């Protein structure tokens, strides 16, 4: 399959949206290969992801947005245009836990994320430096304390800007990013939290799950917002536990969930399959 274009659309639900969008593509020689839609009937919002081949499309890439704008304005759309050969530059932030990091490093190297280019790893510790460099990825050490947090974030943001980073992955990065940092990468920072949110927000969720006697534990990937662990949820999964499981058992079982749930979220983001609205997501998987 050749190059394709992808439109992500959200707008008030009304008649004629589908006909206008598909008609625009058909009139200009595009062959639609994927089309998914969803309606939030309570809020009356229409969502769509549509992808078409560009080989016979009459409009040059640089002019597609302008050509589509009248339709977008007519239906009061929020929309994004992407191309299948776009590659997003990615940075991973990590502390000491290596399971999510290792999963991501392997998947990038194996070509599982063709839409992403892993440019660097940032950590507040040196523990994983050797692992990262073994994969040929630049490693940057930024020790963080309460006293130097603002200065460190400034240096990190400068580095991210220099590298043209499009997506940040928090692979068990045990620091809370400032509001100023988050605002510069709105809906472009993906975190993995080791609980089935909204349960057990914050630190030591497995310990609290054990104390509460839960029968399932989970992991949640979400976009980062100013409020801790409250961003739009991208993916979740669970595994059963019982009275026989210790805290250590829960942590061990949870690790397997965390790395997979995070990897799925990263994949969908890189494939432009996520629409964010009202602190929620629509995933066209």
Whether 54 and 159 map to the same domain: the answer is no
Q: Which of 83, 104, 126 is the last residue of a domain?
A: 83
Q: What is the pLDDT of residue 123?
A: 97
Whether 158 and 70 map to the same domain: the answer is no
pTM for this structure? 0.95
pLDDT tens-place string over residues 81-127: 999 999 999 999 999 999 999 999 999 999 999 999 999 999 999 99
What CATH number should be reported for the domain holding residue 67?
3.30.70.260
Per the prediction, the chain carries an average pLDDT of 96
Whether 31 and 144 map to the same domain: the answer is no
Question: Does residue 129 register a pLDDT over 90?
Answer: yes
Whether 102 and 64 map to the same domain: the answer is no
Whether 146 and 43 map to the same domain: the answer is no
Whether 33 and 130 map to the same domain: the answer is no
Q: Of all residues in the chain, what percent carry a pLDDT higher than 90? A: 96
The whole-angstrom separation of Cα 142 and Cα 159 is 11
Query: Is 88 in contact with 167 (CB distance < 8 Å)?
Result: yes
Name the residue range of residue 96's domain.
88-283
The whole-angstrom separation of Cα 245 and Cα 63 is 58
Whether 98 and 217 map to the same domain: the answer is yes
Q: What is the pLDDT of residue 146?
A: 85
Whether 202 and 112 map to the same domain: the answer is yes
Burial-class residue 70 by CB neighbours within 10 Å (0-12, 13-18, 19+). Answer: exposed
Whether 156 and 63 map to the same domain: the answer is no
Q: What is the pLDDT of residue 60?
A: 97
Whether 172 and 207 map to the same domain: the answer is yes
Whether 15 and 102 map to the same domain: the answer is no
Q: Among candidates 285, 277, 243, 279, which has minimal Cα distance to 47?
A: 277
Residue in 166, 229, 245, 256 annotated catalytic = 229
Q: How many separate domains does the chain show?
A: 2
Mean pLDDT for the stretch of residues 39-68: 97
Question: Does residue 1 register a pLDDT over 90?
Answer: no
Query: Is 251 in contact with 280 (CB distance < 8 Å)?
Result: no
Has 229 been annotated as catalytic?
yes
Q: Which of 55, 83, 111 is the last residue of a domain?
A: 83
pLDDT tens-place string over residues 246-275: 999 999 999 999 999 999 999 999 999 999
């Amino acid at each position: 399959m050749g190059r394709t274009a992808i439109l992500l659309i959200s707008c008030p639900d009304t008649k004629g949206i589908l006909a206008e969008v598909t008609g625009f593509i058909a009139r200009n020689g595009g062959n639609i290969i994927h089309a998914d839609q969803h309606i939030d009937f309570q809020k009356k919002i229409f969502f769509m992801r549509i992808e078409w081949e560009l080989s016979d499309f009459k409009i040059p890439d640089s002019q597609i947005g302008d050509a589509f704008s009248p339709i977008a304005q007519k239906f009061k759309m929020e929309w994004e245009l992407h191309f299948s050969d776009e590659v997003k530059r990615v940075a991973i932030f990590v502390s000491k836990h290596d399971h999510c990091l290792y999963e991501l490093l392997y998947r990038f190297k194996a070509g599982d994320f063709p839409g992403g280019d892993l440019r660097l790893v940032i950590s507040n510790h040196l523990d994983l430096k050797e692992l990262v460099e073994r994969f040929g990825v630049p490693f940057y050490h930024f020790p963080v304390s309460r006293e130097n947090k603002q200065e460190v974030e400034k240096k990190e943001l400068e580095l991210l800007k220099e590298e043209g980073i499009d997506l940040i992955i928090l692979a068990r990065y045990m620091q809370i990013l400032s509001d100023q940092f988050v605002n510069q990468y709105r809906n472009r920072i993906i975190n993995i939290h080791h609980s089935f949110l909204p349960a057990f927000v914050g630190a030591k969720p497995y310990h609290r799950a054990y104390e509460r006697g839960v029968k399932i534990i989970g992991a949640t990937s979400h976009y980062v917002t100013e409020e801790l662990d409250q961003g739009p949820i991208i993916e979740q999964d669970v595994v059963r536990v019982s009275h026989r499981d210790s805290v250590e058992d829960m942590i061990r079982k949870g690790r397997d969930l965390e790395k997979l749930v995070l990897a799925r979220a990263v994949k969908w983001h890189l494939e432009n399959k996520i629409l964010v609205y009202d602190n929620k997501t629509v995933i066209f998987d």
